[in-house]
Structure 1
Amino acid sequence: MKKTYLSLIAVLIAFSVQAQNEFIYGDALPDAPELAKRGPHKVGVKTLEFVHKNQVDIINSKDGVDAFYDRDLKVEVWYPADVADENPVILYDEVMGTANDEKRPLIPFQFKGRASRNAKLKSSSSKYPLIVVSHGYVGSRFLMTYLTENLASKGYIVAAIDHKESTFRDANAFHSTLLNRAQDIHFVVNEMAKLPFTSKVMDSENIGIIGYSMGGYGSLNVAGAGYSAGLAKFFGSMTGGSKAIDVLTTGNEKYEAAFDSRIKAVVAFAPWGMARGIWDAEGLKGLKIPTFFVAGSQDDVSGYEKGIKAIYEGATNVERYMLTYDNARHNVAPNPPPAESLEEGLPFDEYYRYAEPSWDERRINNINQHFVTAFMDTKLKQKDHAKYLDLKPNSNDSTWEGFKDRSSTGLELLHAGAGE
């Protein structure tokens, strides 16, 4: 009997290990909420390269005199595709570590996704809205493939940016990220809207932006939340007097003129900056685009009460939501930790590029898929997902709509309309 019991345990362990090995980022766990599962489309993916000419080269600007360069940006695009393979699997090439940091050497690794490289774009009588994704500092265009693939399978064209001088591979001085995030997003939106590749099937009048951390910082600026005079002063002090960031501040005529009315929805994961004076009350009132915030209640990078929640509360001129993961810190957006980060000799910080101390990252991914789908479908496709968004704030009070019985614990969802 004992031998049989031990054999059964061994089989269960082997099955568990096999199941873990076969799990691909973004796959729905048994307790995934309803909208987390993939949509009806197979997914294609391709790499594009854009060049934003004659931009301020803030790293090489000196004594208040701006240098200029052509800013090259690599963009990964996921889209509904004509694919014969019923279960396509792709390998993405990624690295851990940080360029120019001896304590965090670059370490290459690969991970699987469910997409087909350079597959044919699927024709459609109804056009696919565009979503542009901006990663954190440091990060990459592959940081949220669980979400980019998922949205493409539901009829979106999703373009994730490698922000030059802000990726694992080419990280450089932080003031480049401060200056270029919003401008990179604006540029990629415009370039994607002009592509012959997508011109017949992309709905470039209904565009969404997703940003994480510094990507959230840039996304909110694109959405109308101008940066504060305090940021402009700080930026000048760290760059020898450059005023390049002034065109992104509240009240600047060029900033006001750059607002893009084609953008209809923003998802801001753990947006950085509020706790450091990046916005003031007037800047937050300028937020013009409905926004879905996602935060951890213990975020020790962007801050919670004085950071993300303060942005939510201050953006009183627009409809907004805020989903909070109780006890989570900053990593409420990325893919799960790569297995390689657990190998002996790798810095623990590399594991915590991705992992959350109180949550299974795969569970967070599924919940994000659910709510981002509900929000983007509502704003970009005019679908009625009110039942998934109009919820009692505390998920512990009763099981939220779309969640399996007893599974919606540890969450809060706030909602406020324009003027509230």
Structure 2
Amino acid sequence: MKIKAPFLFTLPLLIFFFTYTISFAQAQSEPFIYGDLLPDAPELAAGGEYSVGVRTLDFVNENQLDILNYGKGDDSLYNRPLKVEVWYPSKNSNKSDELISYDEVMGQNGSPTRPIIPFTFLGRASRDANPLYSDGSFPLVIVSHGYTGSRYLMTYLTENLASKGYVVVAIDHTEATFRDAAGFQSTLLNRSLDDLFVLNEMARLEKDGNSFLKDLVDTENTALIGYSMGGYGAVNVAGAGYSPQAAQLFGGMTGGSNALLKRTVGNPEFEASIDPRIKVIVAFAPWGMQRGVWNAEGLAGIKIPSLFIAGSKDDISGYEDGTKAIYDGAINSERYLLTFIEARHNVAPNPAPKESLNPELDINEYLRYADSVWDSRRMNNINQHFVTAFLGKYLKGESSYQKYLDVNADPEAKEWPGFKPRTTIGLEMDQKKPNN
């Protein structure tokens, strides 16, 4: 039997069609994991060379001021527990096998309309995987969530950074998580104190022969990443002492406690606490500037490189009188300001979980994560890109990353370095050198 020429011509096309259809169906069946790349993701959003392990640790900061019970008798001290999650480069030889389920909740502790509802979501890491020691120690990145939140609020970023050669520790700030939210005074006082305590605990474990962190983490090279109230803490830890006005406001909220005075500008105890191990900060939508938390003298105390990320319509922390004012006032810092035009406050979290789409739930379960203008997945990719460039340049000292930060260096350039054509719409990047 003879086969006609037209059929011979179309046979390869049919094979291609069926192969493409099967491949597309397989791709569609695979879940989108927080942090995965969209087609328009910038270059540095891609994961790094390392497989990622993850472990949970429990710390206790003893004899801390129990500000929520201040003045109610006894000594107003308590042992403050802090649960943390640590992501790190691992020995896992097959990155495609990395898939983990995280246990999270939505809701708000104590709210009659927002009960605590457990849910799970997937990530790309291996629970308790063996650490990779052969490449030496890795810089430390501390991650601090907002009020309320959890250590799992930014897994798209924590996993991504671990895959690029960082040990990343994210904190559950006691009395500020979805599960245990309590009086705001605790967050005002404890946020920066928690950050410094966790740094010291990681440094202790770095030298502990019984800890998996021994010879794995380099705490002398530390970055602090904070979102919202986490950004508030990061700005303070970086050297921006709170204003006297903020201390007075705090005292009024806590029945006369002067506890915040120890973190105010010019206080000798605060000045002594500025830790040289912290080399850089990344502050997403840091809260407090609108409320007079910092003045010019305080902001001038930031002397380390800083990356600020915010939405131009932030209605929680403010923009012109909020994040941008902090950026402008940090005159002694080499600093950057990445702005998502028209975005509101939620420039940092994971995308909204599918469970939050239930119309019977309080809409705030969805709005805790989502933005009404920007696709959260796209913001996640952009954050991965710029945080990678910033930490690579200033924490690891790799000058090749500078070009990704100097997006305005060539006024004739149509695109930003690392971005695909026509994909920088809605973004602005500003950069300022220190005055001194």
TM-score, structure 1 length as denominator?
0.94
Question: What is the aligned residue count?
Answer: 410
> Which residue identity does 1:112 align to in structure 2?
L
Question: Residue 281 of structure 1 corresponds to which residue in structure 2?
Answer: 296
Are the counterparts in 1 of residues 145 and 228 from structure 2 also a CA contact under 8 Å? Answer: yes
Q: For 1:171-222, what per-residue CA distance to the aligned partner results, in whole angstroms no more than 9, with x for missing partners?
A: 0000000000000000001101111322312222110000000000001100
Question: Residue 366 of structure 1 corresponds to which residue in structure 2?
Answer: 381
Question: Residue 276 of structure 2 corresponds to which residue in structure 1?
Answer: 261
1:59 to 65, 68, 86: 68
Question: Residue 34 of structure 1 corresponds to which residue in structure 2?
Answer: 43
1:79 pairs with 2:97: no
1:224 pairs with 2:239: yes
Question: Residue 428 of structure 2 corresponds to which residue in structure 1?
Answer: 412
Deviation at 1:245, TM superposition (A): 1.1
1:156 to 144, 159, 166: 166
Q: For 1:213-250, what per-residue CA distance to the aligned partner results, in whole angstroms no more than 9, with x for missing partners?
A: 00000011000000011111011101100011111000
> Which residue identity does 1:294 align to in structure 2?
I
Q: Distance in 2 between matches of 1:64 and 1:324?
A: 47
Equivalent residue runs for 1:93-112 within 5 Å: 93-112=103-122
Instruction: Pick closer, same or farther for the CA change 1:119–1:304 going to 2, 3 Å.
Output: same
Q: Distance in 2 between matches of 1:90 and 1:159?
A: 17
Question: Residue 139 of structure 2 corresponds to which residue in structure 1?
Answer: 129
Q: Distance in 2 between matches of 1:396 and 1:404?
A: 16
1:309 pairs with 2:324: yes
Runs (4+) off by over 6 Å? 15-18, 63-66, 393-397
Are the counterparts in 1 of residues 50 and 89 from structure 2 also a CA contact under 8 Å? Answer: yes
Are the counterparts in 2 of residues 395 and 409 from structure 1 also a CA contact under 8 Å? Answer: no
Deviation at 1:356, TM superposition (A): 0.7
Are the counterparts in 2 of residues 212 and 271 from structure 1 also a CA contact under 8 Å? Answer: yes
Deviation at 1:19, TM superposition (A): 3.1
What's the secondary structure of 1:179's corresponding residue? Answer: helix
2:156 to 117, 135, 146: 146
| Unmatched tracts of structure 1, length 5 or more | 1-7
Q: Distance in 1 between matches of 2:357 and 2:146?
A: 22
1:176 pairs with 2:191: no
1:328 to 343, 353, 359: 343
Same amino acid, percent of matched pairs: 58
| Unmatched tracts of structure 2, length 5 or more | 1-16
Question: Residue 250 of structure 1 corresponds to which residue in structure 2?
Answer: 265
Question: Residue 400 of structure 1 corresponds to which residue in structure 2?
Answer: 416
Are the counterparts in 2 of residues 63 and 240 from structure 1 also a CA contact under 8 Å? Answer: no
Q: Distance in 2 between matches of 1:351 and 1:396?
A: 41
Q: Distance in 2 between matches of 1:271 and 1:16?
A: 42
Q: Distance in 2 between matches of 1:112 and 1:74?
A: 20
> Which residue identity does 1:171 align to in structure 2?
A
Deviation at 1:395, TM superposition (A): 11
Deviation at 1:344, TM superposition (A): 3.0
Are the counterparts in 1 of residues 288 and 322 from structure 2 also a CA contact under 8 Å? Answer: yes
Q: Distance in 1 between matches of 2:71 and 2:372?
A: 42
Q: Distance in 2 between matches of 1:164 and 1:104?
A: 19
Are the counterparts in 2 of residues 393 and 414 from structure 1 also a CA contact under 8 Å? Answer: no
> Which residue identity does 2:417 align to in structure 1?
E
Deviation at 1:124, TM superposition (A): 3.0
Deviation at 1:65, TM superposition (A): 8.9
Equivalent residue runs for 1:6-21 within 5 Å: 19=28
Deviation at 1:398, TM superposition (A): 2.3
> Which residue identity does 2:84 align to in structure 1?
V
Deviation at 1:28, TM superposition (A): 1.0
Q: Please identify the structure whose Cα radius of gyration is greater.
A: 2
Q: Distance in 1 between matches of 2:250 and 2:26?
A: 49
What's the secondary structure of 2:265's corresponding residue? Answer: coil
Instruction: Pick closer, same or farther for the CA change 1:31–1:271 going to 2, 3 Å.
Output: same
Q: Distance in 1 between matches of 2:73 and 2:233?
A: 23
What's the secondary structure of 2:215's corresponding residue? Answer: coil
Instruction: Pick closer, same or farther for the CA change 1:102–1:141 going to 2, 3 Å.
Output: same
Instruction: Pick closer, same or farther for the CA change 1:57–1:346 going to 2, 3 Å.
Output: same
Are the counterparts in 2 of residues 395 and 408 from structure 1 also a CA contact under 8 Å? Answer: no
Instruction: Pick closer, same or farther for the CA change 1:411–1:17 going to 2, 3 Å.
Output: farther
What's the secondary structure of 1:150's corresponding residue? Answer: helix
1:341 pairs with 2:356: yes
> Which residue identity does 1:146 align to in structure 2?
Y
Instruction: Pick closer, same or farther for the CA change 1:394–1:314 going to 2, 3 Å.
Output: farther
Deviation at 1:83, TM superposition (A): 1.1
> Which residue identity does 2:245 align to in structure 1?
G
TM-score, structure 2 length as denominator?
0.90
Are the counterparts in 1 of residues 136 and 215 from structure 2 also a CA contact under 8 Å? Answer: no
Q: For 1:364-387, what per-residue CA distance to the aligned partner results, in whole angstroms no more than 9, with x for missing partners?
A: 000000000000011111111111
> Which residue identity does 1:124 align to in structure 2?
S
Question: Residue 4 of structure 1 corresponds to which residue in structure 2?
Answer: none
Deviation at 1:63, TM superposition (A): 7.2
What's the secondary structure of 2:233's corresponding residue? Answer: helix
Instruction: Pick closer, same or farther for the CA change 1:394–1:172 going to 2, 3 Å.
Output: farther
Instruction: Pick closer, same or farther for the CA change 1:393–1:341 going to 2, 3 Å.
Output: farther
